[in-house]
A and B are shown apart, each in its own frame.
Chain A
Amino acid sequence: MVLEKMEMFLDNLQPMDLMRSEKMSFVQLIIPAESAHRAISYLGELGLLQFRDLNADKSPFQRTFVNQVKRCGEMSRKLRFFKDQINKAGLLSSAHPVIEPDVELEELEIQLGEHENELIEMNSNSEKLQQSYNELLEFKMVLQKAVGFLVSSNSHAVAEETELNENVYSNDDYGETTSLLEQELRSVPSNQSGLRFISGIIPRSKVVRFERMLFRATRGNMLFNQAPADEEIMDPVSTEMVEKTVFVVFFSGEQARTKILKICEAFGANCYPVPEDVTKQRQITREVLSRLSELEATLDAGIRHRNKALASIGYQLTKWMNMVKREKAVYDTLNMLNFDVTKKCLVGEGWCPSFAKAQIQETLQRATFDSNSQVGIIFHVMDALESPPTYFRTNRFTNAFQEIVDAYGVARYEEANPAVYTVVTFPFLFAVMFGDWGHGICLLMGALILIARESKLSSQKLGSFMEMLFGGRYVLLLMALFSIYCGLIYNEFFSVPFHIFGGSAYKCRDTTCSDAHIAGLMKYRDPYPFGVDPSWRGSRSELPFLNSLKMKMSILLGVAQMNLGIILSYFNARFFGNSLDIRYQFVPQIIFLNCLFGYLSLLIIIKWCSGSQADLYHVMIYMFLSPTDDLGENQLFWGQRPLQILLLLLALIAVPWMLLPKPFILKKLHTERFQGRTYGILGTSEMDLDMEPGSARSHHDDFNFSEVFVHQMIHSIEFVLGAVSNTASYLRLWALSLAHSELSTVFYEKVLLLAWGYDNIIIRLVGLAVFAFATAFILLMMETLSAFLHALRLHWVEFQNKFYHGDGYKFKPFSFASITEDDD
């Protein structure tokens, strides 16, 4: 009776949104060729249909729309070129979306081509200009520097000019170097008529090697003078500024000259002739200078012109890029479709959520209408052999929690989704480990800041760490709220207890215990109404008390969560109509867990309520070692011993129960199916598919008894051992919580209070700073991370392994929204 009522009740439950993934339909589209492009782009805007690649065996360039894809690739290359140019020119590609009528792709292609040609032409022009500018600039520098060297070499030969020369280098700043060189030169017994020189300019990094090479080539018969150039010169290829050095090589002989010229060429040194005559030098310098200023003006004008062109491109660059990306996506999708026999229609297959069928139908009609097509698009549901993708409709709140679950594995199609419970249990288990309402408030403020600036932050690009934080902002919010709650229960505010809910229940027995909470406290009124009494703080029995509390609480929470997991496996089995799993897996599992650890939880609660002194370790251990012995003073309630024996027997029975029957029954079903009806295979396979998608097929393709049995054995052993180890694993709640509170106590007492003990403002400030940093970085960041990871583990391993398969695959609809997000 009761069971039937339960069933009735369960059947009438409202289906929960997130509990099961959306029902999916396998659909086929038959699109007339003329409306195909429009239909696909409309579907991309809708973003609710996942196409299957029907041409998977074809290589990309054998597909139908390869030319369009290529054109899109070419256009995006041009756009990248523009972007690159804009960045190089130091302009910001402005994000103002200029509202302009949509251009057609063909038009855009032409436009882009024009822009590209224009840019390339301008670039080559300015490159030429830049090159001649560079040459002139180098010439100018060579003139400036080389004149100094030459002057000194001429000085003792042509005596009249000496005065003049001295004037020259008193104008120059290089008097010092030249005079040094002068001495050097004088020592060289130079034959004025045979001594010749080559002057030029070379990148500074190559000077040493250059000189060495010259020395070797001329066997030391040369003189190398160098001076650093004043200005850096732009390298036209890499557009970087390069430091250069002016050199003058003196040598004699024709052969040496050809060699030196060859070496100059090999090293990329530019040689410039400098006349020896001073008047000529001046004349040339003047000419060069005037031409330089002319060129500079031209160059500037060119750059302005180019920047203007680039800016006008920059206005629309983002829009164009999006558009090209979309077009490419549309053609990529079209490439997944098949031509039908008549070559007039495209046939596509894919998955869509069942609720979206009407929407898709409507979109397709709109596409037909807009493209003035005579023939409508045919859209119908088909049967599919493969299992459908998993699709949960999440919102920005549930999304992060769904991500936490998906990180472990995407749910099998329509299997119970742990994310529903994770929304609450995850932040709660986190908070059990992170319970401190001071720290909680800090987290809360962080989360609130992230949420308040949601609209602003979501539109901009964040760093990877910030992005993670932002994505989990609602998780953070709940974690903070639960931390405050747990912190209030633990009565810790940066490890300091507060009398929020009235006074302590304890007071000193006499005046001797005035100094602190060591001994002599007695209870004089009702217990503290909420959470831990502040008087425990600092008392000798603080740790034993809190440990016992938190340990027991961890076990209670753990057993509750594991039970929830097993119950969810019941709902799964029920949903997929798998009565075998209910009878031979769910029932023994729940019996086994509750006979051992459910009983332990019961004992804990009774002990809390009755205030008994019983030793629970002893009870549990001797329940296995000698169940028939008398419990003595550890007896908590009447009839405990027979109950224990009963529970133990039940647990012992449950093990073979979950191990043996299921594989044998499966085997029997299998042999029955195939012996009874030799021709029935086709029918049954399809019927079964409807009943239990995915899991059913593996059974009748080839039933391998030993495999099934081993599998079941592994499962049972895992569960039995897991029941013990998982319960123990929940003790991490206690351990982490203890670590957190001890750590914050240390920082509070050993840093802040110690520093406050000094009557020195500096020490106090330093202490405060250290405390603040320790709180922020160790307690708020590292501890949050570690508590987060442990909560994650408890969910992934201890909770989800009870029911969750997680071997589905995600629904990835063809959607423009996701495309534009991707590459930015």
Chain B
Amino acid sequence: MYGFEALTFNIHGGYLEAIVRGHRSGLLTAADYNNLCQCETLDDIKMHLTATEYGPYLQNEPSPLHTTTIVEKCTLKLVDEYKHMLCQATEPLSTFLEYCTYGHMIDNVVLIVTGTLHERDVQELLEKCHPLGMFDSIATLAVAQNMRELYRLVLVDTPLAPYFSECITSEDLDDMNIEIMRNTLYKAYLEDFYRFCQKLGGATAEIMSDLLAFEADRRAVNITINSIGTELTRDDRRKLYSNFGLLYPYGHEELAVCEDLDQVRGVMEKYPPYQSIFSRLSYGESQLLDKAFYEEEVKRLCLSFEQQFHYAVFFAYMRLREQEIRNLMWISECVAQNQKSRVHDSVVFIF
């Protein structure tokens, strides 16, 4: 019942929406980032962060800090918040919240499979996994030799199973196949998430379809750029694009035939929302593209908080927090490696 969420939304979603908005106000502000960028050592960063909501998570860390510790603890906070929200959530919000983590799950699967391919220690790989994308039998991924086994042994129990059905081949796993698998999974996931949000209807569908479309388009651009110069055929490339979003379908046809970055740019500049992103880049430059996309994403995520009575705030909050953790990681790395001049290269201010 679009437009009438105000009547019933708060029965089940009101408490959690309040919680998530409270969490949002705990995000670091531009002033915080300015202070953080001036830090000289990791201890300074810790000291500043202990004055924020990260305080309880960092205050008991002994002094020679590492970037990984900071990131780990900050992620732990996000995970704790997510788990709390998930515990409190009822249907369909709980499913929605679960959907938000499938992306991490895909990344983790790919990480472990790639890792075992390169004969890394499983425990070591597990530590690198994003805690939001953990599932019970994740460690057993290492047992699988090919995709079919991967599916039959492990993934059939996870929510990723339906996505996987599209990419089952009995080929052996190699880097290329894994990357294709990642993108196929992601495509299936985004489409499924998109359908789910459409089913929810109302403001959730409206806002989420916008956010997901942006995500799909960004992936399409990234796939295109990354596959330039590889043996991936045009049809294969075309198959990896998600079947929705602003670029779908005509943009995809054009992206599929792109041979260099400037062609991609030519395609993207036809779409007004992406015009501004690409117009900021000089020709032939792709490093800043990521940051530009992140900035645009953050802007859109922040906007979703302007409307009430919908689930997109949960998605947006988690994304924003992840962006914040990425920022913290970048700042800490810059500080730790004495590269303070580069500190602003990749930090995306949220407010």
Interface residues of A (CB under 8 A from B): 59-62, 66, 69-70, 73-74, 77, 80-81, 209, 213, 216-217, 259, 262-263, 265-268
Task: Please state if A70 and B47 are interface contacts (CB–CB under 8 Å).
Answer: yes
Residues of A within 8 A of B137 (CB): 209, 213, 266
A386 CA / B197 CA spacing, docked (Å): 55
Task: Please state if A267 and B48 are interface contacts (CB–CB under 8 Å).
Answer: no
A262 CA / B140 CA spacing, docked (Å): 8
18 example contacts (A-B, Cβ-Cβ < 8 A) are as follows: A59-B35, A60-B48, A61-B40, A70-B43, A74-B63, A77-B62, A209-B137, A213-B137, A213-B140, A213-B153, A213-B154, A262-B143, A266-B141, A266-B142, A266-B143, A267-B139, A267-B140, A268-B139
A213 CA / B141 CA spacing, docked (Å): 11
Q: Is B38 an interface residue (CB 8 A)?
A: yes
User: Given A60-B48, A61-B48, A216-B153, are A263 and B140 neighbors across the interface (CB < 8 Å)?
Assistant: yes
Interface residues of B in 23-67 (CB under 8 A from A): 35, 38-40, 43-44, 47-48, 50-51, 59-63
**Among candidates B38, B50, B59, B136, residue contacting A62 with C-beta atoms closer than 8 Å:** B38
Nearest chain A residue, comparing its CB with the CB of B39:
A61
Residues of B within 8 A of A66 (CB): 47
A59 CA / B32 CA spacing, docked (Å): 9
Interface residues of B (CB under 8 A from A): 35, 38-40, 43-44, 47-48, 50-51, 59-63, 122, 136-137, 139-143, 152-154
Residues of B within 8 A of A216 (CB): 152-153
CB distance from A267 to the nearest CB of B (A): 7
CB distance from B251 to the nearest CB of A (A): 42
A262 CA / B48 CA spacing, docked (Å): 44
**Among candidates B47, B59, B61, B141, residue contacting A61 with C-beta atoms closer than 8 Å:** B47
A66 CA / B38 CA spacing, docked (Å): 14
Residues of B within 8 A of A213 (CB): 137, 140, 153-154
User: Given A62-B38, A213-B153, are A266 and B43 neighbors across the interface (CB < 8 Å)?
Assistant: no
Centre residue among A61, A70, A216 by max chain B CB count within 10 A: A61
Task: Please state if A60 and B39 are interface contacts (CB–CB under 8 Å).
Answer: no
Task: Please state if B153 and A59 are interface contacts (CB–CB under 8 Å).
Answer: no
CB distance from A71 to the nearest CB of B (A): 10
A584 CA / B139 CA spacing, docked (Å): 82
Nearest chain A residue, comparing its CB with the CB of B47:
A61
Residues of B within 8 A of A266 (CB): 122, 137, 139-143
Task: Please state if B48 and A59 are interface contacts (CB–CB under 8 Å).
Answer: yes
A74 CA / B154 CA spacing, docked (Å): 45
Residues of A within 8 A of B50 (CB): 73
Residues of A within 8 A of B59 (CB): 73, 77, 80
Nearest chain B residue, comparing its CB with the CB of A66:
B47
A708 CA / B46 CA spacing, docked (Å): 50
Nearest chain A residue, comparing its CB with the CB of B153:
A216
Task: Please state if B152 and A209 are interface contacts (CB–CB under 8 Å).
Answer: no
Nearest chain A residue, comparing its CB with the CB of B62:
A77
CB distance from B47 to the nearest CB of A (A): 6
Task: Please state if A259 and B63 are interface contacts (CB–CB under 8 Å).
Answer: no
Task: Please state if B136 and A73 are interface contacts (CB–CB under 8 Å).
Answer: no
A66 CA / B59 CA spacing, docked (Å): 16
A61 CA / B142 CA spacing, docked (Å): 46
CB distance from A700 to the nearest CB of B (A): 34
Task: Please state if A265 and B122 are interface contacts (CB–CB under 8 Å).
Answer: yes
Task: Please state if A209 and B136 are interface contacts (CB–CB under 8 Å).
Answer: yes
Closest 9 CB pairs of A and B: A266-B139, A59-B35, A61-B44, A266-B140, A262-B143, A216-B153, A74-B63, A61-B47, A213-B140
Nearest chain A residue, comparing its CB with the CB of B123:
A265
A77 CA / B51 CA spacing, docked (Å): 15
Residues of B within 8 A of A217 (CB): 143, 153
Centre residue among B44, B47, B137, B140 by max chain A CB count within 10 A: B140
15 additional A-B residue pairs with CB within 8 Å, beyond A61-B39, A61-B47, A77-B60: A59-B38, A60-B48, A61-B40, A69-B47, A70-B43, A73-B59, A77-B61, A81-B60, A213-B137, A259-B143, A262-B142, A262-B143, A266-B137, A267-B139, A267-B140
